[in-house]
């Protein structure tokens, strides 16, 4: 058995995919070329880890180019925003555990009593072993650090934790090494304006920006108390502008986009689906209360702001990544985005995540020339959701419009997600070949496009 076959078997076992499902025939992997294809990570949050820390109202890694830390350990991966949240929702009261021990949080406790934290975490990791997040982290650590989290114990965690710490001390060198090992490229990451304009550590920032492609978060300019938002205030101070009416707001947004473009930005991104619907109807200037900070007045102002950002993106032919589904159900359906797709034909609208609105997303992508889908985060949420997404999109969505990114908080989580992407893509495509619906060459074309070529084309990289 060669490395590719062993890796495929490991992914299949971890994700609950049998040998027949991944298409093993007489010991050979079906569609083995998929393992060697580059998976472009087109929506990522690598470095959003407790030890790398926060900057204002978000993670330092999203707001400070070159952010790193010498203290990253296994506990950062176990208690990253995603996995920590899933463990808590499953019943692991890390705050209670830490408080009972006299610590401010679980990371502080892990520094002083790591064996106790590992022992407390193990039952919850086992309970969630078949979920997407734990599966992806297990696969990523196995591939990149040659350690099996399935064998984790209070007596053996130090070896892998020390290995992780050593590699993160050269964080951007580590990212490059890990991407090569996992056959990944990118990442493209959503950032605040400060990430683009400031250089806290110029050398570290240069190393990160030598391979990282930024997209500007427009979320910062849509929050209810927008001028109290630290990132909003940063922008006003940096640009020397305070928007108060239609004219000054347009100038403000235009300057933001110009500065972002000048700093190498390749698109924009928003996450309003977490707090409201996606019906951003165009609004006339005279219908907007530019001082509104709640209720229908704020909603109207947000609609107006999003449309102005779309006007700017349309002029540049930029992609616009928009969160769809996963939260705020049922208000996060993508169907209202059709209005923006028609109004701004040169904007490439990339709907990300999309579960449970798989059919609605597929319909929009099939109907609108400037609509695309990226399944990022689905492998981390649930490999079952990811498989359902592939079955929905393949066969309906044109091949040049599907992307398979990760949306991970660490390169390890991304590496595991990419392995799930490949295993499930191989499974679904092999079944279609066996059913006589497509030929192997069609399957490999689609895999090449979805794993990498489409992301580069849509984002102009």
215-249 pLDDT per residue, tens: 999 988 987 566 678 889 999 999 999 999 999 99
DSSP 29: P
Residue 389 lies in a domain: yes
End-to-end Cα, the chain, rounded Å: 37
Whether 387 has a pLDDT exceeding 70, the answer reads yes
Instruction: Kindly report which listed range (56-70, 128-142, 244-258) carries the lowest average pLDDT score.
Output: 56-70
Mean pLDDT of 346-350: 98
Residue 121 to residue 299: CA distance in whole angstroms: 42
Residue 453 lies in a domain: yes
- For the CA atoms of the chain, what is the radius of gyration? 22
Whether 284 has a pLDDT exceeding 50, the answer reads yes
Mean pLDDT of 258-263: 97
**Domain harbouring 421, CATH code:** 3.20.20.140
Residue 304 to residue 218: CA distance in whole angstroms: 13
Residue 414 lies in a domain: yes
Contacts of 333 (CB under 8 A, 6+ apart): 277, 278, 324, 325, 357, 360
pLDDT tier at 125 (50, 70, 90 boundaries)? Answer: very high
Give the residue from 119, 128, 124 showing the smallest Cα distance to 153.
119
For residue 273, the model assigns a pLDDT of: 86
Q: Are strands 58-59 and 54-55 parallel, antiparallel or unpaired?
A: antiparallel
Residue 235 lies in a domain: yes
- Whether the bond between 356 and the residue before it is cis, its omega within 30 degrees of 0, is yes
Mean pLDDT of 138-166: 98
Whether 5 has a pLDDT exceeding 50, the answer reads no
Residue 371 lies in a domain: yes
Residue 138 to residue 149: CA distance in whole angstroms: 6
**Residues of the chain with pLDDT > 90: what percent?**
86
Residue 156 lies in a domain: no
Residue 160 lies in a domain: no
Give the residue from 387, 129, 15 showing the smallest Cα distance to 404.
387
Domain tally for the chain? 1
Residue 285 lies in a domain: yes
The mean pLDDT of the chain is 92
pLDDT tier at 25 (50, 70, 90 boundaries)? Answer: very low
For residue 393, the model assigns a pLDDT of: 98
Whether 260 has a pLDDT exceeding 50, the answer reads yes
Give the residue from 80, 79, 70 showing the smallest Cα distance to 118.
79
Q: How far is CA 351 from CA 158, 270, 276, 310, 412, in A?
A: 40, 10, 16, 15, 24
For residue 40, the model assigns a pLDDT of: 98
- pLDDT per residue over 57-106, tens digit each? 789 999 999 999 999 999 999 999 999 999 999 999 999 999 999 999 99
* 83 Cα distance to chain centroid: 14
Q: What is the reported pTM?
A: 0.92
Give me the domain span that covers residue 40.
Answer: 35-48+172-459
For residue 76, the model assigns a pLDDT of: 98
Instruction: Kindly report which listed range (220-224, 282-286, 293-297) carries the lowest average pLDDT score.
Output: 220-224
């Amino acid at each position: 058995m060669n490395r590719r076959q062993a890796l495929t078997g490991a992914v299949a076992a971890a994700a609950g995919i049998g040998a027949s499902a991944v298409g093993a025939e007489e010991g050979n992997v079906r569609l083995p070329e998929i393992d060697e294809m580059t998976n472009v990570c087109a929506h990522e949050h690598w470095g959003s880890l407790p030890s790398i820390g926060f900057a204002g109202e978000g993670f330092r890694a999203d707001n400070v180019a070159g952010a790193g830390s010498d203290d990253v350990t296994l506990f950062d991966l176990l208690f990253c925003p995603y996995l920590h949240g899933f463990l808590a929702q499953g019943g692991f009261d890390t705050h209670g555990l830490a408080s009972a021990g006299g610590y401010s949080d679980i990371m502080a406790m892990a520094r002083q009593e790591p064996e106790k934290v590992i022992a407390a975490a193990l039952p919850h990791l086992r309970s969630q072993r078949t979920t997407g997040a734990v599966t992806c982290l297990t696969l990523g650590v196995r591939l990149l650090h040659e350690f099996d989290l399935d064998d984790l114990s209070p007596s053996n965690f130090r070896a892998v934790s020390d290995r992780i710490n050593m590699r993160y001390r050269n964080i951007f060198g580590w990212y490059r090494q890990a991407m090569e090992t996992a056959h990944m490229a990118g990442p493209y990451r959503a950032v605040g304006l400060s990430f683009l304009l400031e250089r806290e550590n110029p050398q570290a920032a240069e190393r990160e920006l030598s391979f990282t492609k930024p997209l500007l978060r427009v979320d910062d300019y849509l929050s209810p108390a927008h001028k109290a938002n630290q990132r909003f205030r940063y922008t006003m101070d940096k640009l020397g502008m305070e928007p108060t009416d239609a004219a000054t707001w347009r100038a403000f947004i235009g300057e933001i986009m110009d500065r972002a473009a000048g700093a190498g930005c390749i698109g924009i991104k928003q996450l309003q689906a977490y707090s409201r619907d996606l019906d951003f109807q165009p609004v006339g200037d005279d219908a907007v209360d530019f001082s509104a900070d709640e209720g229908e007045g704020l909603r109207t102002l947000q609609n107006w702001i999003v449309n102005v950002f779309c006007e700017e993106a349309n002029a540049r032919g930029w992609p616009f990544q928009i969160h769809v589904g996963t939260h705020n159900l049922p208000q996060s359906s993508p169907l209202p985005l059709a209005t923006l797709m028609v109004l701004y034909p040169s904007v490439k609208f990339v709907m990300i995540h999309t579960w449970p609105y798989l059919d609605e997303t597929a319909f929009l992508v099939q109907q609108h020339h400037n609509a695309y889908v990226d399944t990022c985060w689905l492998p981390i949420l649930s490999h079952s959701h990811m498989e359902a997404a592939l079955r929905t999109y393949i066969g309906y969505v044109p091949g040049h419009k599907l992307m398979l990114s990760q949306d991970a908080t660490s390169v390890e989580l991304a590496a595991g997600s990419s392995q799930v992407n490949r295993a499930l893509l191989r499974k679904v495509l092999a079944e279609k070949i066996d059913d006589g619906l497509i030929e192997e060459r069609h399957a490999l074309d689609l895999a090449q496009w979805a794993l990498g070529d489409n992301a580069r084309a849509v984002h102009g990289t």
